[in-house]
Amino acid sequence: MYETQSFSSLVEINNTVLSQTSKDLLHGLKIQHNDRWYICGDLALNEGQLPHKLINSSPEDTDYQLLAKAAMLLVQDKVEQPITITTGFPYSTYYIYKDKAVEFFQRTHLLDYDASTFNAGNRKKAMLEVQKVDVIPEIVGCTIAIRKGEPPVSGSFFVFSCGFGTFESILSTDSGIIEQTMVSTLGIRYAVNLMINELKSKYYLEFRNVHQIDDAFQRGYIFLNRQNIDLREIRKTAIQTYYHEVISPNLRGVINDSNLVKTNRIYLCGGAMYYQELVDCFIEEFGSFTQITVMDNPESQASKGYALNSLRLGYGKIKSAVGIDIGNATTIVTNFTGEIV
């Protein structure tokens, strides 16, 4: 049903020859933008000096446009043109960036890329016609994926989504969302920064940025001065501190008696839900009186919801529906490979 591809949301200018450095296009994204060559994703992680990504960037920013082009490039030979794209933003920036995103996406895109990174080819061009564009809040994308997923979920439920840049909540009902339950606050980057401060008191971190430290945060270890430093306990403490300082206070007005009358179901989405330490915090606070479900592939729920929204907008043209989630840590693009069950 779904085909989902994901890559790190990192970019860096790179004009060097990178021949046969990757196994495929996904791992060898080298794209031309405004007459400059950039590496993206895994290639930026492996070959870049200091790859970066602005937090919650605007559609007018170079990094956003590069990641969008990379996502479109990955599906251009898998879809039937013209296509419909849905994307989204955290609620805090949704109204600011919505029109700018439509303006950027809704056109015919000429995608210049270097295929020599993964085969014997060279510079190539691909064309992708985007006929329709919709922009919705990320948390709404997650809600669509839950309601239209396998199995579909009906009735009322809370959705919590935690990514690198943002944590969000919403109460979804069969008639729509309840606006007063919307929370949009700091994401797991808060915990990564806590870990950075802890490490800085003991080690020299060179010039590594928060995105590079996030990679170590996920792995649970880092090499500093040729020492393998176990980060698991530091990470656990940082995540627990983040939860109690940021998430829990913001949810006090959401998980209240009035809303619990409507539902006691909570669905957890977003890449940060892979950290069991974070899930345990939700269970400790809410587990005794709610039903908590961690979604399968929690990081891809927004992208799947976007693709389902594109399917609706495109009048059921399954091969022309695409969802693109340009996250602060990971960019995810989803299209359909078969019939909708």
**Any alpha helices (H) in 128-231, and if so which ranges?**
138-147, 189-200, 210-219
280-317 confidence digits (pLDDT tens)? 999 999 999 999 999 999 999 999 999 999 999 998 89
Cis peptide, bond prior to residue 59, ω within 30 of zero? no
- Mean pLDDT of all residues in the chain? 94
Answer CATH for 150-187+249-299 from 3.40.50.150, 3.40.50.620, 3.30.420.40, 3.50.50.60: 3.30.420.40
Query: Identical fold at 2-139+302-336 and 150-187+249-299?
Result: yes
Q: Specify the amino acid at residue 140.
A: V
Q: Where are the domains of the chain?
A: 2-139+302-336, 150-187+249-299, 189-232
Measured at the CA of 82, the angle between CA 79 and CA 84, to 5 degrees, comes to: 80
Q: Is residue 13 over pLDDT 70?
A: yes
Tell me which residue of 210, 177, 191 sits closest to 53, measured CA to CA.
210
- Using 50, 70 and 90 to split pLDDT, how confident is the model at 120? confident
pTM: 0.95
pLDDT score recorded for residue 225:
82
- pLDDT tier at 119, thresholds 50, 70, 90: confident
Does position 341 have pLDDT exceeding 60, yes or no? no
Q: What is the pLDDT of residues 69-106, one digit of tens each?
A: 999 999 999 999 999 999 999 999 999 999 999 999 99
321-338 pLDDT tens trace: 999 999 999 999 999 987
Q: How confident is the model at residue 207 (pLDDT cuts 50, 70, 90)?
A: low
Q: Which tokens belong to 179?
A: 């606006």
- As a residue count, the chain comes to 341
Residue with tokens 């995810």: 332
Indicate the class that CATH gives domain 2-139+302-336.
Answer: alpha beta
226 compared with 5, residue with greater pLDDT: 5
Sheet harboring 291-294: ordered strands across?
A: 176-186, 166-173, 157-162, 265-269, 291-294
